[in-house]
Chain A
Amino acid sequence: MIGPLLVGVYVFVLAMFVGWQVITRVPPTLHTPLMSGSNAISGISIVGALVIAGTASDTLMTVLGVAAVAMATINVVGGFLVTDRMLKMFHRRPSGDRPEA
């Protein structure tokens, strides 16, 4: 059997490959929303931040926890909202005055 660290390494390497495959298919026109959206996803460290803030036993841990939760939440909330705001703006030409593709 392999230990938890090695499992993590396996998962990390395979996820990098999946990421590579998926993201090379994103067209250049969407690269800015891709950055802000993937940025929101990297706010997943909110999971760790919640654990610190929710189990803090002294002042230092509480401060670290609140700061981590706040930073991660800015990342998550701001990232997804601004991505949506951008993606809302992308429109095709009204079909009618579109010549050939």
Chain B
Amino acid sequence: MSSSLFQLAYLLSAVLFIVGLQKLSSPETARGGNAIASLGMLIAIVATLLGEHLVSFEWIVIGAILGSAIGLIMAQSVPMTAMPQMVAVFNGFGGGASALVAIADFLELAKRASGLEVAHGVSIVAGVLIGGVTLSGSFVAFGKLQGLVTEKPVTYPLQKTSNFILLIAMLAAGTWLSLSAPAGGVDVFYFLIGASLLLGVLVVIPIGGADMPVVIALLNSYSGLAASAAGFVLENMSLIISGALVGASGLILTGIMCRGMNRSLANVLFGAFGGGGGPQAASGGGPGGERTAREINAESAAMMLAYARQVVVVPGYGLAVAQAQHKLRELGDLLGRKGVTVKYAIHPVAGRMPGHMNVLLAEANVPYDQLYEIEDVNPEMADTDVALVVGANDVVNPAARDDPTSPIAGMPIVEVDRARQCIVLKRSLNPGFAGVDNPLFYLPNNSMLFGDAADSLGALVREVKEL
């Protein structure tokens, strides 16, 4: 009787999660949506505390205080540029918690030497496997993004083969556990835990730093699937539903990131892309000496910008590295006051995770209705007087569109080369992440403003003010 009441409370929490996610469809309702989702979580927690016949609360309080303090400090102190690392860490903890739920359930059964139903065994194995991979894989991703582990792909002979053999061994162990009584399987179970953690490390280390956005989105999906698996273990529908929502979300974002780079998921996971050494690094157009890139100074650039009708700004991760978002917004505002229409073109992989650049610009007070997706802004390029590229490279490389032999061929780009004039703010003519030469720099309608992005934008702001 009262147990169905608690089940209804879980259902209510799942409904609130869905409503909360629905409200993320617009920036105006998104904050309320997040509050609704957190209310759903509160209801689920209260239902568990009251309805699950818990006997002691002191350890719960200790764990909760510890977790809340760490979560609070991290959430308040993380700089927006480090958001990808932090989401990676949170993914890892989510996966870890789900794996622990499955582990505790198994050990409890093993202690009582009670038989394991096949379905229950499969759920436990899935929880441990997905949760374990999520935990260790996320921490490797964190290490790569934070610069603690090399960003370069780590490769060694027979890498894929050995990972595959490990996976097969894990599946065999999992099948054996699911089909046999747990009493004799504790050693095999410990092997499964260790192997899951090892596999998470091994599958993420060969992936280059530039591909981390895809990895984080995928691990996001796994953290949801791990929660679903824990839901199957506990036969709790709320966990199954919530995990499925997150699983779907992560998969959608993974797909968007892959399309943004025109790469298949398999290529991202196994391609060891961005090593900087590959055979493609040397190719891409004739020798640099034959072509000349036109240099421009801040004064002339400011003139071009201030007398334009429409300016499209293309920010890249270099902008964030130089911490120049605020200077860029200042320039945008100045131009806006001079009657210039300023639009920001945001490439899906402009930042280090899906939507990262939008958050960085929002932090600098750029209104979100000035941000455009590339499919909306590309048709306007021919009517754009000046395209201003700040700290971006591969996402504006016309070779992706024109040269089928380019390593980034087919990647969607912001077509700044079709604007009347293009100004690129960059330190040097060096290639970007993909190690590909950029023919844009040598086009007749392109000029280079060399220097640190923050310094160059500061100079542009000064010059525009003086006009």
Are A31 and B355 interface neighbours, CB within 8 A? Answer: yes
A interface, over-half SS? helix
Q: Does B93 contact A (CB under 8 A)?
A: yes
Are B244 and A71 interface neighbours, CB within 8 A? Answer: no
> Within A36-77, which residues are at the interface with B (CB < 8 Å)?
36-56, 60-62, 64-77
CB nearest to A46 among chain B residues = B45
Q: Does B248 contact A (CB under 8 A)?
A: yes
CB nearest to B44 among chain A residues = A47
Give the Cβ gap from A42 to chain B, nearest Cβ, in Å. 4
A15→B243 CA distance, assembly (Å): 9
Determine the chain A residues whose CB is within 8 A of the CB of B220 once the complex forms: 35, 38-39, 42
Q: Does B395 contact A (CB under 8 A)?
A: no
Give the Cβ gap from A19 to chain B, nearest Cβ, in Å. 3
Q: Assuming the A-B contacts A33-B359, A86-B80, are A50 and B52 also in contact, with contact meaning beta carbons closer than 8 angstroms in the complex? A: yes
Are B52 and A83 interface neighbours, CB within 8 A? Answer: no
Are B54 and A55 interface neighbours, CB within 8 A? Answer: yes
Q: Choose one: A31, A50, A73; the contact of B49 (CB below 8 Å).
A: A50
Determine the chain A residues whose CB is within 8 A of the CB of B55 once the complex forms: 54-55
Q: Does B233 contact A (CB under 8 A)?
A: yes
CB nearest to B223 among chain A residues = A42
Determine the chain A residues whose CB is within 8 A of the CB of B252 once the complex forms: 20, 23-24
Are A46 and B248 interface neighbours, CB within 8 A? Answer: no
Determine the chain A residues whose CB is within 8 A of the CB of B40 once the complex forms: 41
> Within B95-154, which residues are at the interface with A (CB < 8 Å)?
96-98, 100-101, 103-105, 107-108, 119, 123
B interface, over-half SS? helix
A45→B131 CA distance, assembly (Å): 11
Are B244 and A43 interface neighbours, CB within 8 A? Answer: no
Q: Does B322 contact A (CB under 8 A)?
A: no
Q: Assuming the A-B contacts A54-B55, A85-B75, are A29 and B358 also in contact, with contact meaning beta carbons closer than 8 angstroms in the complex? A: yes
Are B245 and A66 interface neighbours, CB within 8 A? Answer: no
Are B253 and A35 interface neighbours, CB within 8 A? Answer: yes
Where the two chains meet, the residues of B that have a C-beta atom closer than 8 Å to any C-beta of A are 10, 13-14, 17-18, 20-22, 24-28, 30-31, 33-35, 37-38, 40-41, 44-45, 48-49, 52-57, 59-60, 62-64, 66-68, 70-72, 74-76, 78, 80, 83, 86-87, 90-91, 93-94, 96-98, 100-101, 103-105, 107-108, 119, 123, 216-217, 220, 223-224, 226-228, 230-250, 252-253, 256, 336, 341, 346, 348, 351, 353-356, 358-359, 362-363, 365, 367-371, 373
